[in-house]
Chain A
Amino acid sequence: MADNKQDDFMKAYDGCHDRFLRYCSSLAYGKMDVQDLVQDVLVSAYHKFEKIENKEQLLHYLIRSARNRSISIWRKQKPETELTELHAQRLSDQGVSPETVLDIQLLYRMLDKLPLKQKEALVLFEINGFSMKEIAEIQGSNEGAVKTKISRGRKKLALLMDDNSVKPVSDLLETLQTITL
């Protein structure tokens, strides 16, 4: 009985892994260990697996659960630098180049500055490849609202990127001023 349940769960989870992990990474970046979040959500989902009527909807359940859990256990157990280093280390172990790791970390940092729902819509659409309809189902809203969130999120992200590119120059000028004066 338990083996059957485990097999069913593993079979259902198999197709969710990549998208679920990417979503969890964006949620947990710099705040908590993604492994803790994933384990927490999986334990909860496993014990409620019988109650999930449509097993194909497991991914939606996992994403909603991850979002809710990340809010309720939003406490830093480790310093931010340690968490980001852990993130970089794990990606490097998977064979990701250091440049790509930096790009991913920059994107996560910028995404973190967006409102939660906007960030979620953008991550689900751009990184996880969900359709607008699916995102609307996950967020409990309509396609129009999702479209607006994604559009606004993109614009804000672009502005944040511009600010981010300007800042180092101003910092450099400030440092030069301090040295010369």
Chain B
Amino acid sequence: MKAKDTSALFEATRRAPVELSKEIVMDFIKVIPTLPPPSSNWFQNFNLNSIIMTTTAITLVTSAVLYFSINTDKQELVLPAETEFTAPMPIGIIDEFEESGQTKLVITTIDTVSKKAQLVAQRASK
């Protein structure tokens, strides 16, 4: 079929009788007053098919969004940083002993300042 034939096709279509005769359509028009008027209720547009299709689409999209938005990477357990415990330096030592039936207490004071200085010096030397 050549391009120039389009005008011939249009001509043939223009000349051909229409699919439905005027009588058929006029007969239908006579029946229209007996038919119920078309409802303008927009709610009738909802049917089971549209509801199922819409719900499925919404469910799929929502689940996809939720699936990809939640961070699924395992979080590594972060241990607290190691802290060096330094017990408070005793100020004094109390010894208890018995001597000839009597309990005696001996309190020895420690020179904490010099001991601390010794410890600091030891650490510095390491």
Contacts and interface: CB of A to CB of B under 8 A. Distances in A.
A94 interface: yes
A169 to B, nearest CB: 12
B17 A126 contact: no
Interface string B20-43: 111001101110110101100000
Contact of B20 (A21, A95, A154, A164): A21
Interface in A1-36: 2, 5-6, 9-10, 13-14, 17-18, 21-22, 25, 34-35
Interface SS, B side = helix
B9 A104 contact: yes
A54 interface: no
Secondary structure call for the A interface = helix
B2 interface: yes
A118 B18 CA distance: 22
Contacts of A2: 33
A35 B20 contact: yes
A87 interface: yes
Contacts, number: 99
A127 B19 contact: no
Interface residues of A, number: 43
A103 interface: yes
B62 interface: no
Interface stretch (A39-47, A130-138, A139-147, A170-178): A39-47
A127 B29 CA distance: 25
A42 B1 contact: no
Contact of A22 (B18, B26, B33): B18
Given A9-B29, A42-B28, A104-B13, A87 B19 contact: yes
Given A44-B38, A46-B29, A46-B32, A158 B10 contact: no
Interface of B: 1-6, 8-10, 12-14, 16-22, 25-26, 28-30, 32-33, 35, 37-38
